[in-house]
Amino acid sequence: MIYGIHWDLHSPLAFAISILPILLIGMKITVEATILGFLVALLLGLVLALLRRVPLRIIAWPTAVAIEFLRDTPLLVQLFFLYYVLPKYGVTLPALFTGVLALGVQYSAYTSEVYRAGLEAVDRGQIEAATALNLSRARLYRTIILPQAIPRIIPALGNYLVSMIKDTPVLSTVTVMEMLNLAQIIGDRTYRYLIPLTIVGALFLLLTVIASTVVNRLDRVLPKEGVPLR
Amino acid sequence: MSPPAEPGTAPDEIIRFEKVTKRFGALTVLDDFDFHVAPGEKVTLIGPSGSGKSTVLRILMTLEPFQQGRVELDGISYHEPGGKGPFKASPRHLREIRTQVGMVFQGFNLFPHMTVLRNIIEAPVAVLKIPKEEAIERATGLLDLVGLADKKDAYPRQLSGGQKQRVAIARALAMRPRVILFDEPTSALDPQLVGEVLNVIRDLAHEHDLTMLMVTHEMRFAREISDRVCFFDQGRIAEQGAPEEIFGEPREERTREFLQSVLG
Ligand SMILES: Nc1ncnc2c1ncn2[C@@H]1O[C@H](COP(=O)(O)OP(=O)(O)O)[C@@H](O)[C@H]1O
Ligand SMILES: [Mg+2]
């Protein structure tokens, strides 16, 4: 029994049907962690990408080092660091939040690279024309550079979204009850692993297919030459 | 038409380069460069590729910094005393300078995700804080001027090269610059589209108060509209004078060679 839900071991089908509601609760956690983690990655990544473009070395250089560090250390190490070390300094977050933060922070290193490539792909002539028209730096980014970078950025971000969905089981190591964790607990208690793990695999497939479909649609709908931001 | 400025008559000069040195790394593009332009003057810069013509315009537009010497716009120095960064000036100072200068590029550089109208009103609304209705009204007038009133809702990709460049001219004019810079405005165009752009620039050349600097290979056009033609060679003005002089009886051997090579 988990969450007050009993399993039925009479037949494989009955077993599958009886544990599905439990795994769906886990899937909800998986989805929540992904959405929140990805939002953190999108925002923090943009901040990192912009800081890296600041024409001051004391800002751009540490940012580049931080990005490199985040990219080159395993997610699990970053997660353990947040989960076990931060509380020693009085910062105690719920496990799910810690997980979301770890996912978001690691992926912000990836998304910042996506933004950087997208921003750099905008034609220099666009920036020169905007400068000649005396647009402020903020305005230049908001109305000229970002709108033209977005259509190039979206597909690459979509890949990282799919990849983040597949990374969420890492959160089970810090007690987050996402679906793989639940499947394992069911397996441990019933000695039947095949069915819960198969269902979890299918649910992950479902999530990643939905995510890719949404991203592809978005990619097709967005005007290639740029998305006006008003 | 204003007479060319005599050196040292500062009030008669809107643009002044004095002993300017511009380097790209080890490459010195302008060396001890002097250049003066009177208000309202129409000056054409000609010369072989790589001789520094674009660099002069780009320095004036604050797109390129320079290392030594002095550049002035209407008596205001580009470098500030104690100014920091490659431009040796604060962002605010550069913005101040840019309010007086507009530029039209060889590659048009229209904003592809904005309609023609939006391209034109973006900066007047955002920078000059002109109310949107008024900006639209003026943009419509400018589109009339360049013969594209019916294209205001089109996107750049829907326009021919000549139409794009005419929009780019309208966009630059919308900022009401005192100095407008053209860097090979027709070089990227199919030959049959050059005329429509030159016609617009010709109309502008009749604006008494507008100072115009143009880099071009359209020699007949240069001869027709310029007060003065400057022949650039290896980062220096090797020869300059009225168009009749430069095209009619060039003194320098290099000028003659160059004109022969472009006029065929
Ligand atoms: N951003 C740059 N970096 C390095 N060299 C440059 C750059 N821009 C121009 N140059 C060089 O400066 C010289 C003058 O260029 P330019 O002013 O564009 O010449 P022009 O417009 O007369 O053809 C050329 O040798 C060119 O290669
Ligand atoms: Mg050039």
- Tens digit of pLDDT at every position of chain B (264 positions): 445 544 444 568 999 999 999 999 999 999 999 999 999 999 999 999 999 999 999 999 999 999 999 999 999 999 999 999 999 999 999 999 999 999 999 999 999 999 999 999 999 999 999 999 999 999 999 999 999 999 999 999 999 999 999 999 999 999 999 999 999 999 999 999 999 999 999 999 999 999 999 999 999 999 999 999 999 999 999 999 999 999 999 999 999 999 999 887
**Domain-located, residue A53:** yes
Q: Are B182 and B201 in contact (CB under 8 A)?
A: yes
Number of domains in chain A: 1
Q: What is the number of the ligand closest to the CA of B59?
A: 1
Q: Which helix (H) or strand (E) holds A52?
A: helix A12-53
Q: Which atom of ligand 1 is nearest to the CA of B235?
A: 14
Q: Are B46 and B230 in contact (CB under 8 A)?
A: yes
A16, A181, B137, B176, B249 from B245: Cα distances, Å: 95, 87, 43, 32, 5
- Residues from chain A contacting residue B107 (CB–CB below 8 Å): 125
Q: Are B64 and B235 in contact (CB under 8 A)?
A: no
Query: Ligand 1 center to residue A33 CA distance, Å?
Result: 52
CA nearest to A79, candidates A107, A51, A111? A107
Tell me whether 0.90 is exceeded by the ipTM: yes
**Domain-located, residue A2:** no
Query: Ligand 1 center to residue B60 CA distance, Å?
Result: 15
Regarding the beta carbon of B243 and ligand 1, being less than 6 Å apart is answered: no
Q: Which atom of ligand 1 is nearest to the CA of B56?
A: 17
pLDDT of residue B5: 44
Nearest to B113 among A128, A132, A148 (CB): A148
Q: Answer positive or negative: Cα dihedral of A52, A55, A56, A57.
A: positive
Q: Which residues contact A60 (CB under 8 A, 6 or more apart)?
A: A51, A52, A53, A54
Q: Do B127 and A136 touch (CB under 8 A)?
A: yes
| Burial of A1 from C-beta contacts in 10 A (0-12 / 13-18 / 19+) | exposed
pLDDT of residue B1: 46
Query: Ligand 2 center to residue B53 CA distance, Å?
Result: 6
Q: Which atom of ligand 1 is nearest to the CA of B48?
A: 22
Q: Do B103 and A126 touch (CB under 8 A)?
A: no
**Domain-located, residue A194:** yes
Regarding the beta carbon of B29 and ligand 1, being less than 6 Å apart is answered: yes
Q: Are B216 and B182 in contact (CB under 8 A)?
A: yes
**Domain-located, residue A107:** yes
**Domain-located, residue A179:** yes
Digit-coded pLDDT (tens) for B21-34: 999 999 999 999 99
Tokens of B127: 């920078």
A80, A160, A194, A200 from A171: Cα distances, Å: 10, 17, 21, 15
Regarding the beta carbon of B216 and ligand 1, being less than 6 Å apart is answered: no
Q: Do B113 and A225 touch (CB under 8 A)?
A: yes
- Residues from chain A contacting residue B168 (CB–CB below 8 Å): 129
Q: Do A123 and B109 touch (CB under 8 A)?
A: yes
Taking chain A (230 residues) in consecutive chunks of 10 residues, what is each chunk's mean pLDDT?
87 93 94 96 94 89 93 93 90 90 96 94 96 95 92 93 95 92 94 95 96 92 83
CA nearest to B67, candidates B115, B17, B112? B17
Place of tokens 């009850």: A177
Digit-coded pLDDT (tens) for A5-56: 888 999 999 999 999 999 999 999 999 999 999 999 999 999 999 999 888 8
**Domain-located, residue A54:** yes
**Domain-located, residue A100:** yes
Query: Ligand 2 center to residue B151 CA distance, Å?
Result: 29
pLDDT of residue B11: 60
**Domain-located, residue A203:** yes
Domain holding A122: CATH number? 1.10.3720.10
pLDDT of residue A210: 96
Task: Give the other-Cβ count within 10 Å of A182's Cβ.
Answer: 24
Residue range of the domain that includes A166: 12-221
Chain B nearest CA to A49, separation (Å): 22
Amino acid at A5: I
Amino acid at B31: D
Q: What is the number of the ligand closest to the CA of B185?
A: 2
Angstrom distance (rounded) from CA A147 to CA A206: 31
Tokens of B19: 């002993």
3 state DSSP class of B115: coil
Chain A nearest CA to B99, separation (Å): 7
Cα dihedral angle (A61, A62, A64, A67), rounded to 10 degrees? 180
Q: Answer positive or negative: Cα dihedral of A32, A37, A39, A40.
A: positive
Which positions 173-232 of B are in contact with A (Cβ < 8 Å)?
A: 175
Which ranges of A57-178 does DSSP label H, i.e. alpha helix?
57-72, 75-80, 95-120, 124-132, 137-139, 146-167
Statement: the pTM of the whole predicted model exceeds 0.90: no
Regarding the beta carbon of B26 and ligand 1, being less than 6 Å apart is answered: no
Amino acid at B43: V
pLDDT of residue A3: 87
Q: Do A128 and B62 touch (CB under 8 A)?
A: no
Angstrom distance (rounded) from CA B224 to CA B212: 14
Regarding the beta carbon of B52 and ligand 1, being less than 6 Å apart is answered: yes
Interface of A with B (CB under 8 A): 55, 123, 125-126, 128-137, 139, 143-144, 147-148, 223, 225-228
Regarding the beta carbon of B187 and ligand 1, being less than 6 Å apart is answered: no
pLDDT of residue A170: 94
Q: Do B127 and A133 touch (CB under 8 A)?
A: yes
